[in-house]
Amino acid sequence: MIVMKFGGTSVGDAAAIERLVTIVADARAEQPLVVVSAMSKITNALVALDDLIAAGDASAIEYAIAELEARHAVAADGLQLAAITQAPIGELFAALRQAAVAGLSQPSSPERRDLICGFGELLSSRLVVGAFDARRVQVEWFDARSAITTDDHFGAAIPRESEIEARAQRLLPVLTAGRVVVTQGFIGATRDGVPTTLGRGGSDFSAALFGAALGASRVEIWTDVDGLMSADPRVVPEARLLASATYDEAAELAAFGAKVLHPATQLPLVEAGIPIVIRNTFAPERPGTWIRADDGEEDALPVRSISFKPGVTVVQIRAPRMLGAYGFLRRIFEVFERHEVVVDVLATSEVSVSLTVDDVSRLDAVIRDLRLVGEVGVRAQRGVIAVVGRGIRETPGIAARVYTAIADVNVEMISQGASASNLTFIVKEADGPAVVRALHRTFFPEVA
Ligand code: ADP
Ligand code: ASP
Ligand code: MG
């Protein structure tokens, strides 16, 4: 079997869903499990709805839900879905209204946010099932929450892979019988059945979890670009397609801003060696990018791609009195651990440590505790640039070329990744796109 995951724009309207149906129907011999995201922008709208629920403005809530309803109704009409296949969509909107009433004027909680945000995938998957039905393709809707068991870290729940494997097995006979199965990305549930999500962009991760659980021969990620490219094509329009990449390269790029793949996607797949293939829903004839342990490209360019992640905050801790003393790093990391704040990029010297965080919601408490260790400085609105390629460490002069290319930019912090395949540094967020373009011209001069 194979897993075919379709992202937000790939289910964004009736025309996109029609493409999806054709693409999946063409792959039916391979027994596809279809994993879908919410229609584009719907998850953002649901996050906003959760804020409206907290604010308690009943008419604004009703307006927002009616807008969501209209967007799905337009798609259902475009797909000419019969009323009977539209009934579950009506039930979902009734449940969403009920959740809004139940939570009215109560402050948001991560648990409620996951409940509300999860409606996007439930809705889109019903539209997709309806589209298959309307075209007489045998199809079954599957509730991902009954298989994707997670812990209760709402907002970024951790999947329990062995339970997922056991629970997903019941899909195999359905797939073997030649029925297309459609399920949701992004959502799961705790053992007690409380809805959770895997975090924003998490549908790719869901696809990988299903792929690993079912021993898929590959996991296809269908999106709105040709594959993994040498830079975000929105920033560098002339970016080129990578025919292949390793799991490590893809993971580094994803972790540092290449939104095309969720950073955890490869995790469940590495052990079984299941490849990921990124494909373009709007140009299915193109080959896409193959991602595996060893892509067999001996003489690939040392630098494969350049990514940029905005919205990063840099925290610097200086403690001159720690010179020659031990325990400095441990004391710093204990603070982050205690407040459950994830650290991304790290650079150290003997008496100072710089690191970056994405999520600043608990930063005030972190800083208070860090002040007990040393002087603390904070710089917001920064971005991480990552230059990624497995040849970076072996190829002399890459760092020099990087710094020449960006000589006139103020680089604030440099970190050579512990893996052999990246070089990361911090710049002001506003400088990010120009830096990516300058680096791209340096390493891919033929397309500049
Ligand atoms: P989906 O909704 O299908 O999951 P996303 O919006 O999450 O799609 O990811 C696709 C987007 O990722 C592309 O539209 C592109 O702008 C962006 N992107 C960022 N970096 C890269 C890269 N290196 N290669 C390809 N796309 C990239
Ligand atoms: N719909 C979710 C999001 O927008 C998950 C995804 O698209 O992967 O974050
Ligand atoms: Mg995505």
The protein residue with its alpha carbon nearest to ligand 2, atom 5, reads 201
Determine the 3-state secondary structure of 244 from DSSP. Answer: strand
Model pLDDT, residue 344:
85
Task: Starting from the CA of residue 203, give the closest ligand.
Answer: 2
Q: How far apart are CA 6 and CA 34, in angstroms?
A: 8
Q: Tell me the C-alpha distance between 40 and 19, whole Å.
A: 15
Beta bridge partners of 312: 382
Question: Which atom of ligand 1 is nearest to 227's Cα?
Answer: 25
Q: What stretch of H or E contains 330? A: helix 328-338
Identify the pLDDT of residue 393.
Answer: 80
Report the C-alpha gap between 258 and 254 in whole angstroms.
Answer: 5
430-447 pLDDT, tens digit each: 999 999 999 999 999 875
pLDDT, tens digit (0-9, with 9 covering 90-100), for 212-247:
999 999 999 999 999 999 999 999 999 999 999 999
380-427 pLDDT tens trace: 999 999 999 888 888 888 888 988 998 888 887 777 665 668 888 899
Q: Is 92 in contact with 75 (CB distance < 8 Å)?
A: no
Q: Which residue of 11, 37, 184 sits with most ligand 2 atoms within 8 Å of its CB, as the best mutation to test the pocket?
A: 37
Instruction: Enumerate the β-bridge partners of residue 40.
Output: none
How far lies 12's CA from each of 70, 90, 127, 222, in Å? 13, 19, 11, 13
The pLDDT of residue 143: 98
Q: Going along 235-318, which residue ranges are E strands?
A: 244-246, 276-280, 289-292, 305-318
Residue 299 has pLDDT above 80, yes or no: no
Read off the pLDDT of residues 52-73 as tens digits, 9 standing for 90 and up: 999 999 999 999 999 999 999 9
pLDDT higher than 80, residue 193:
yes
pLDDT of residue 418: 56
Taking Cα atoms as reference points, which of 65, 63, 17 lies closest to residue 39? 17
Whether the Cβ atoms of residue 263 and residue 230 lie closer than 8 Å to each other:
no
In contact, 278 and 323? CB cutoff 8 Å = no
The verdict on the CB of residue 41 being under 6 Å from ligand 1 is no
16's tokens:
């996109």
pLDDT at site 375 = 94
Q: pLDDT tens-digit profile of 115-156?
A: 999 999 999 999 999 999 999 999 999 999 999 999 999 999
Ligand 2 atom having least distance to the Cα of 204: 8
